[in-house]
Structure formats: C-alpha cells, structure tokens
Structure 1
Amino acid sequence: MKIKRHGAAFGVVAAGALLLTACGSDNNNATPGGTSAQPTSNIQCANGSLISAGSTAQSNAMSEWVKAYQNQCSGANINYQGGGSGKGVQQFQQGQTDFSGSDFPLGESDKPAADARCKSGPALDLPMVPGPIAVGYNVPGVDKPLNLSSSVLAKIFSGKITNWNDPAIAKDNPGVNFPSLGIQTFHRSDGSGTSYNFSNYLANEAKADFPFPANKNWPAPGGQGSNGTQGIAQGVKSTQGGIGYMELSFATQSSIPYAKVSNAAGQFVELTNDNVKNFLSKAKVVGEGNDVKLQFDYSNTDANAYPNLLVTYEIVCSSGNDPQKLPLLKGFLNYLASNDGQAPLAQQGYVPLPSNIQSKVQAAISSLK
C-alpha cells in the first residue's frame, strides 16, 4: 500500500532542501562548493576563521550562508559542525566555538557557565532560523493528511495510545480507515532543541495528558531513541506504524507525510509557511538588554497560526570576544540577520524572522564587543 505525501503548500521547500547535501548530518562541515551562492551587497567581508557547532535543525541554512559568505569573502573560513543543540551549548561554554547554534535559549542551568566563558559580559541568545516541526507518520493505506490533536499526540508519545485504530485518533479523522497497527514512536536520543520545542508544545497545549516539562532530553517514557533528526526520519520512513517529530525539510526530503496539529482552541492547523509566520509573529521578547530570547504564545487561538515550531538561536558573547575574530564574527552574523540572508530561508524549509524581531537581532549584533 502506498502512503500519499502531504505538504503541497511547501512544494518549493522540497526542491530547495534537496539542493543541500549536508542537511542530514550531525557532523556538518559547511564549506564552499555545491550549489552556487549569488553575490550579495549585504555582506561585509572580514578575514580570519570562525568555528561553530550545534543545532542540526539549522544545518541547511548554515551551509548556504557559509557558502555565500566565503564565495564573496576569500579571506574568510567558517567551519560549522552539527552535533545537536546540547553539544553546541556545551562547546560554547567550554570556549571551543566562537558561537554556537541552539534550538532553545540558554536556560537557568546553562546560562551561568555560558556567561562565565564570556568573562566581561553575558552570553546572548540571537534568534536566527525559525522553522516548523513536522509530525511525520507511516500508516499504510492512509491517503490523506491526518488530524492529530495535542492531546492525542501527548498520549501517543507517552505510551497511552498504542494502536493506530484507537478511537481517539479515529474521532478526529472521520472517514479514514485505520489499520490495526501498533504505534512506534521515535524521539531524539541526544540533547535536542527539537525535543525541547516539541515537548514544550505538548506541555502547554495538552498539560493533562503530558505531565512532563519541556526538556532538551526527551522527557516521556517509551519509544525508540534515534540520534539526530535524520535518525528519526529514517526510523519513521522504514517502520510501518512509525511516528516522530522532525524539522520540515527532513520530512519533505524523505517523502514522509505530516499531520495537521491542534492549537489552543482545538482547531487543526495546517503546516504552511504563512501559518508558521502568523504564530511566530506573536512571540514575545523576554530576554534582558540585547538578549533576544523569545517566548511563544501557546494560548494563540488563531486558526491560521501553526503552533509547533522551533527557533534556532546563535549563542554568542556580548563582549569579551577575541578582538582578532570580532570583525568576522559581526560581519558573518550581520549577513545572517540581513534581508539577503533571511530571504532564502523560505525556500529551504524555514521561515524568515519577522521584521520586529529581525531589527532587535541586528541591533544586538552591532553591539558585540
């Protein structure tokens, strides 16, 4: 039986994402080559080398950004390794990276060590790469997009719903003939911002059914742990009855169908670029000073606001940066936050920053010392 692919609204995403060869790697060394990057007037060139690591969710974007910057700036060398958000934060704290990518802002347990590394000023959270989290599934014979409420998802991922023919799933999907098929959930086995944001969505939208706090280490029992998002995508793709959470580009590249999920009003929201933007635009900046830490509004009842997403932050020192590297650090990050840097994100499975957040990020980068 054939599973029909879902996601026509993101048709251009798959084409854009397939151009990016490094997206599935947890060890992504972004270097020049591959697709040709067009020159851009917003790049301020500087010489030197930068080392970065962390979020695999932003690997597609970072690969293209590095190529664009290095193609225009022959004296620059930027090395981005993946490894996951948890590893990226740890390496930043230990001074092994000049900046790191993380799909969650620095929390109470992480910020003291990050601030200490910076010595003369606090570490900053700079949102740079917003992206939707797709809930992908493999259910033979199902040929239409599924509706999966936050309550049902909470029960599935905590082991309370174990078969696809469960009445709670059927209730939200009238006319769909579900097979008697065991559910196999896939979650990240490594520290992951995708886990943090997906568990945060469930913890806020389905508190009664998901009594676990948001956590970069998957908090619920059971299921199959997989290293990296690519591991989850491969697990779902190859397992009848499989379901997992993943960045959109991994679902589109693997032709994995993904669900509509419910919002605070119980309405099922389709994963589209505009719907993700609508939800993100209501986020509040809750960081202090130049820290652009965001807080999502999960109480949003807009039927056109997709509530299951993440934002990758670049973690960087506000001051205390190596003076030899500072021009390149600011030049590269300024390009990422510019209109020229943000515009291509929509073709890669991400969403550009809303202008109100973008301007705060640009101001913070200009202040780096």
Structure 2
Amino acid sequence: MKLHRTGAIAGIALASLLAISACGSDNVDTASSDSSASSNPNCAEGQISASGSSAQKTAMNAWTTAYAKDCGAQINYAATGSGAGVKEFTAGKVAFAGSDSALKDDEQTAADARCKTGKAINIPGVATAVGIVFNVKGIDKLTLDPATISKIFQGQIKTWNDPAIAKTNSGVTLPATAISVVFRSKDSGTTDNFTKFLEAQTPETWKLGTGKGWKGTVGTGAPDSAGIVSAVTGKDGSVSYVDAPDAKKNSLKTAAIDTGAGAVEISDETVGKAIAAAEQDFDGNNLKLKLNYGLKEAGAYPAVLVTYQITCEKGLTADEAKLAKGFLSYVVSDAGQAAAADAGYSKLPAELLTKAQTAAAAIA
C-alpha cells in the first residue's frame, strides 16, 4: 500500500549543517581490522562499488572510512553525479547509487528491471541545503528573492548593480560587475532540486523547466561540485549553486533567500523547517519525499535536498546484498548519522530514520 502524508515530520533533530565538505578521493582504502572483532552490528565482509551524488561525497567519505575501519570491508564510491550514478546502477555496474533526488517514474521502471527478482528502493541518507554561492569583490552578504534568482540564471539580469538585486540589499554598494553564471554541465540531483525550487517559487518567471540536466544556455558549465567551486572561486562576478557543506568547506559565500517574509540564511533550523513540510510518498520500503520547494514560511530555507541510496530490495548477488545491507544499515544507524553530521550534513528526522533503517534491513 502506498502512503501519502503531508505535514510535519516529527522528531527533527538536525545537527550542524554548515561545516566541512569534501573534494577528496572517491575511493577508500581497505582497513585491516577484522569484522569479527568489531562492535559494529552492521559489519559485513567483501568489496562493492557504488557511484552517484557528489553532494553527499563528504558524508560518503566519512561513512566508507568508518565502515572500513570497523569492518574490514571496502565500499568504493565514485562521486560521478546523481544522473550518472542512477544510470550505472540501472546498467548493473554498481551495487547502489547515490542521488540527490528520488527515482522518477521512468527511472523507477528501469531500476526495477535491473533488480529482476525484486524492486529498486530509495533509502534516504541525509539532508542539506542548496546554497546559492557568489563571488563578487567587496560583497560579503547578499539577499536574493526567487524571481531575481530565476532571472539571473536565465541571463535576464546581467550586472550585480541591477535594481532587482539592489531592492533586497538596501545599504549595500553593488558593483557594475558583469554576472557570470556557472551551472552543472552533467546530470545532477542538485540541479534537479535547484530548478524545482525556482519553478515552484516563480512559475511566471522560470522558463527552463526542471530535471537533472541543465537546460539553460547562459553561462559556463562545470561537471561536478568540485568544478563549481573552482569556477566560482576563480572568477569575480560569478554565481552558481552547490550543496551547503561544499560551500562552507571552500569558504564560498551563500546568499540569503527572501520568499516574502524576510531574508533567510542556511542553518539547521531553517533547513529543518523545510524538511518538516515535506510530503511522504512511501511504497513499502521505497521511501520518497516530495519536498515543498514553493514553501514561503517565515524562517524556512526552501532550497533543500535529501540524498538517497538507491539499491535493490532483492536482486543483487548474494555477496553484494550482504555488504549493501550491512553498509546502508550503518549509514542510517545513529552512528552513521552522527558521522554525517560531523561532516557537515543534517541528520534525518527521527520518524523517517526509523523507516530508513527498516528499508535497509530488508535488503536480501
């Protein structure tokens, strides 16, 4: 039976959102510890490969490092981007994929076919914000409303001293510097969430639709989060979008968003309000959230994303299933969530976390 429920997700216990992010190695060396001697109840032996979301790369590095140390098993995660990860999973090349958005209907059908004897499931991992990052000489703080953001990324606002930007930045001396847009050139869950936010907030202004692939023609493309960071850091006047931990680690400035009730900056509380407003779309152990990107609640930061680990409930090889079950059970355990929080992400709300733990335990 499919469950739909709108409203607050109880038990929000969000840890520090603005902390470090990673641009390090995608792979983790196998630890020498013996899983039989570990106190981790989710230990399994072996080695599997996974790929996908670069927005959760820092969290994944923390998880794989800890799991290797505790259990002696190796999880090789390549931060290829959400779109590539889903494609590689569907093609049977990886045991699970990381994605910043749940499988769409056509992707779900293809993923189910890959699993053969079972269904593909979406297991939430962590939450974070999509930061609108900027590099403008002399500007430390910036507030943008959604309509202005839409026009900037469509090339309709071309300089930083445009009246639309000045309107939400009273008292700030804005330069006439040209705006340089940077976007994700490869399929990206971050792009999917960002464009959904723009369409929901400003349907009369945003004309480029939604999805993992960027449909605009203005600006310069970068393949992944690291590329976005490099491009924005290297050019005065640039603006882009990236997960908040990457922005924080690389000292990128993030704009506050004003949806009509005042400027809202990224924080545990503001992101928590947005996640609490999500609609649950659950089908057994397939756990999808429908985020309210059009949220205008005071104190809520609506440009958010939840990462998912996509795998087969049944249909992996016996060895893959054992290790995927063990590792993903660790990801959604209290210890795994704490490790992600230490890496700069937000823990899942308590009620959702319990369901994610049940879903991971069902992998066979």
Distance in 2 (alpha carbons) for counterparts of 1:114 and 1:24 = 29
* Partner of residue 205 from structure 1, selected from 198, 201, 207: 201
Match of 2:56 in 1: 58
**Residue 86 (str. 1) matches residue 83 (str. 2):** yes
8 Å contact from structure 1 (residues 283, 296) kept in 2: yes
Match of 1:346 in 2: 341
Match of 1:324 in 2: 319
Match of 1:138 in 2: 135
**Residue 272 (str. 1) matches residue 267 (str. 2):** yes
Distance in 2 (alpha carbons) for counterparts of 1:138 and 1:354 = 33
Distance in 1 (alpha carbons) for counterparts of 2:23 and 2:183 = 16
Match of 2:9 in 1: none
C-alpha deviation, 1:305, in angstroms: 1.6
8 Å contact from structure 1 (residues 286, 292) kept in 2: yes
8 Å contact from structure 2 (residues 16, 268) kept in 1: no
Secondary structure of 2:253's partner? Answer: coil
* Partner of residue 361 from structure 1, selected from 335, 356, 360: 356
Secondary structure of 1:78's partner? Answer: strand
Match of 2:227 in 1: 231
Match of 2:42 in 1: 44
C-alpha deviation, 1:190, in angstroms: 0.5
8 Å contact from structure 1 (residues 100, 315) kept in 2: yes
Counting only pairs closer than 5 Å after superposition, residues 147-296 of structure 1 correspond to structure 2 as 147-263=143-259, 265-296=260-291
Letter in 2 for 1:313: Y
Q: Deviations over 1:157-192 (max 9, x none)?
A: 011101101000000000001111110000000110
Cα RMSD of the aligned pairs, angstroms, is: 2.0
Distance in 2 (alpha carbons) for counterparts of 1:231 and 1:299 = 28
Distance in 1 (alpha carbons) for counterparts of 2:282 and 2:221 = 32
C-alpha deviation, 1:32, in angstroms: 5.1
Secondary structure of 2:335's partner? Answer: helix
8 Å contact from structure 1 (residues 162, 182) kept in 2: yes
8 Å contact from structure 2 (residues 63, 340) kept in 1: no
Q: Percent sequence identity over matched residues?
A: 37
Match of 1:24 in 2: 23
Match of 2:95 in 1: 98
Q: May I ask how many residue pairs the two structures share in their alignment?
A: 345
C-alpha deviation, 1:363, in angstroms: 1.2
**Cα distance, 1:12–1:198 mapped onto 2, change above 3 Å:** closer
8 Å contact from structure 1 (residues 184, 242) kept in 2: yes
Match of 2:8 in 1: none
C-alpha deviation, 1:11, in angstroms: 8.9
**Cα distance, 1:149–1:255 mapped onto 2, change above 3 Å:** same
Letter in 2 for 1:68: A
Match of 1:6 in 2: none
Q: Deviations over 1:9-61 (max 9, x none)?
A: x99844x44xxxxx226x7113358xxxxx98554211122110111111111
Secondary structure of 1:152's partner? Answer: helix
Match of 2:12 in 1: none
> Which structure would you say has the larger RCO, counting Cα contacts within 8 Å and 6 or more residues apart?
2
**Residue 110 (str. 1) matches residue 79 (str. 2):** no
Distance in 1 (alpha carbons) for counterparts of 2:334 and 2:267 = 21
Distance in 2 (alpha carbons) for counterparts of 1:204 and 1:41 = 46
Distance in 1 (alpha carbons) for counterparts of 2:167 and 2:119 = 50
Distance in 2 (alpha carbons) for counterparts of 1:71 and 1:226 = 34
C-alpha deviation, 1:278, in angstroms: 1.9
Distance in 1 (alpha carbons) for counterparts of 2:222 and 2:296 = 33
Secondary structure of 2:200's partner? Answer: helix
Distance in 1 (alpha carbons) for counterparts of 2:294 and 2:108 = 27
Letter in 2 for 1:158: Q
8 Å contact from structure 2 (residues 278, 290) kept in 1: yes
Match of 1:67 in 2: 65
C-alpha deviation, 1:273, in angstroms: 1.7
8 Å contact from structure 2 (residues 181, 219) kept in 1: yes
Secondary structure of 2:105's partner? Answer: coil
Letter in 2 for 1:83: T
Segments of structure 2 that go 5 or more residues without pairing to the other structure are 1-14, 32-36
Distance in 1 (alpha carbons) for counterparts of 2:97 and 2:16 = 30
8 Å contact from structure 1 (residues 127, 311) kept in 2: yes
**Cα distance, 1:235–1:345 mapped onto 2, change above 3 Å:** same
Secondary structure of 1:324's partner? Answer: helix
Distance in 2 (alpha carbons) for counterparts of 1:348 and 1:29 = 17
Q: Which moved more, 1:175-184 or 1:280-289?
A: 280-289
Secondary structure of 1:109's partner? Answer: helix
C-alpha deviation, 1:233, in angstroms: 1.2
8 Å contact from structure 2 (residues 282, 288) kept in 1: yes
* Partner of residue 120 from structure 1, selected from 117, 137, 141: 117
